């Protein structure tokens, strides 16, 4: 077993399935341009002043650490330094918390003028910020102040691990006893789609030396956790899950229902596929991705817009983000390249970017699938 980390080779699945290099490259660039610089009805990146910019969650009309960090990752992958720096400066200016229990974390939601909507963080933002910043450091070199990318990334990860220790008030983002990422600091359950073992492997090389053993352990813990969080027959995971992998059904009075395969959870299979691509350390990832594709292409071939329990029971609700489903189903082909992979990839290729007010989440997952399947989602 050898992933791209060792081989330095990144599969171009589109090319494997007969699409030309020219049309693949054109499609990747067009996807970026639409999201970042398209018409008002298409884009959700906006410049702010002379040197900042933000990604708008068009469904909720705010800026989130999720979207800001995703935007930064897209930019570093495609060598878009100006947009990257604009996003990071906006994040550091408005989202960074310099006091209180969330000190040195980032407020997960801000109004589009930068006013904070929240005093707490969401850990998926921090882990993407750190990885994007490390890649920026390695691709472009460190600059001054907040643009000393590697220093900023290390500081984020240090806080995520060491909060709760003497001199570090607040709650860590990873549960110290099991090295699993939390849904939010202070609560004892997780979100399977937050688990990024392929990031943690790199944190174990790039982070502060004292924390590298922790990150190596976190990568192993997350891979083991995903075995529990993904249903063995369908491959589906819940949006929130307890530390034993059981769908989390509590806290519905606060957060609503999240014990089903719905919006957050779509990212889980994409993350599994990326870990397989980069590190190829767990043969189970191929097996579960193939079961996942069978579920959609055979068992539920006419219900890709459905909402499911993790055992595959179809509910009455319809998916809020149907294009995101198509995108991650295709991205799963990085791990499962058997019976249904080409069907999933072709369906994605023939699906346009989403339009309308809910386009933000769908089109981010679309962009990531486009990068990954074209061989452009790389380690730096």
Q: What is the CA radius of gyration of the chain?
A: 19
Per the CB < 8 A criterion, the answer to whether 83 and 71 are in contact is yes
Angstrom distance (rounded) from CA 99 to CA 331: 40
Angstrom distance (rounded) from CA 314 to CA 312: 6
Report which of 233, 201, 296, 262 is spatially closest to residue 4, judged by C-alpha positions.
Answer: 201
Active-site residue flag, 264 = yes
Active-site residue flag, 22 = no
Q: What are the helix (H) ranges across the chain?
A: 4-7, 13-16, 21-37, 65-77, 81-90, 123-140, 149-162, 197-206, 212-229, 252-255, 266-278, 284-294, 322-331, 341-349, 359-373
* Residue from 175, 264, 282, 290 carrying the catalytic annotation: 264
**135 phi and psi, to 5 degrees?**
-65, -40
253: Cβ contacts below 8 Å, ≥ 6 apart = none
* Residue from 57, 66, 124, 259 carrying the catalytic annotation: 66
Tell which phi-psi region holds residue 260, choosing left (phi > 0), alpha (psi between -120 and 50) or beta.
beta
- Cβ burial, residue 16 (10 Å; 0-12/13-18/19+): middle
Angstrom distance (rounded) from CA 128 to CA 68: 9
Handedness of CA 274, 32, 321, 117 (dihedral sign): positive
Reduced to 3 states (helix: H, G, I; strand: E, B; else coil), residue 137 is helix
Structure tokens at 131: 């990885």
Residues assigned a catalytic role: 66, 264
């Amino acid at each position: 077993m050898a992933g791209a980390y060792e081989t330095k080779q990144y599969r171009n699945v589109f090319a494997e399935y007969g699409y030309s290099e020219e049309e693949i490259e054109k499609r990747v660039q067009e996807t970026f341009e639409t999201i970042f610089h398209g018409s008002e009805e298409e884009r959700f990146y906006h410049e702010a002043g002379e040197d900042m910019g933000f990604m708008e969650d068009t469904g909720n009309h705010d800026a989130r650490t999720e979207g800001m960090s995703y935007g930064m990752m897209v930019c570093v992958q495609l060598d878009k330094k100006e947009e990257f720096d604009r996003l990071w400066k906006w994040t550091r200016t408005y989202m960074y918390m310099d006091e209180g229990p969330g000190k040195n974390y980032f407020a997960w939601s801000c109004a589009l003028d930068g006013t904070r909507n929240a005093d707490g963080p969401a850990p998926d933002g921090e882990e993407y910020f750190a990885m994007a910043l490390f890649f920026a450091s390695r691709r472009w070199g460190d600059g001054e102040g907040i643009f000393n990318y590697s220093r900023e990334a290390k500081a984020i990860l240090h806080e995520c691990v060491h909060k709760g220790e003497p001199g570090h008030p607040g709650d860590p983002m990873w549960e110290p006893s099991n090295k699993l990422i939390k849904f939010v600091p202070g609560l004892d359950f997780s979100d399977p789609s937050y688990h990024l073992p392929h990031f943690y492997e790199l944190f174990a090389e790039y982070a502060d030396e004292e924390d590298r053993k922790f990150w190596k352990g976190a990568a192993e813990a997350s891979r083991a956790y995903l075995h529990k969080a993904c249903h063995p027959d369908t491959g589906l995971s819940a949006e929130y899950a307890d530390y034993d992998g059981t769908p989390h059904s509590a806290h519905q009075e606060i957060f609503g229902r999240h014990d089903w395969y719905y919006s957050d959870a779509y990212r889980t299979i994409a993350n599994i596929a990326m870990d397989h691509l980069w590190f190829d350390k767990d043969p189970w990832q191929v097996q579960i991705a193939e079961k996942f594709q069978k579920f959609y292409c055979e068992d539920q071939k006419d219900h890709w817009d459905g909402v499911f329990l993790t055992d595959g029971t179809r509910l009455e609700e319809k998916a809020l983000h149907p294009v995101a489903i198509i995108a991650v189903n295709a991205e799963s082909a990085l791990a499962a390249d058997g019976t249904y992979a080409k069907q999933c990839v072709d369906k994605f290729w023939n699906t346009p970017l989403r339009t309308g007010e809910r386009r933000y989440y769908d089109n981010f997952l679309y962009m990531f699938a486009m990068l990954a399947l074209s061989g452009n989602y790389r380690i730096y």
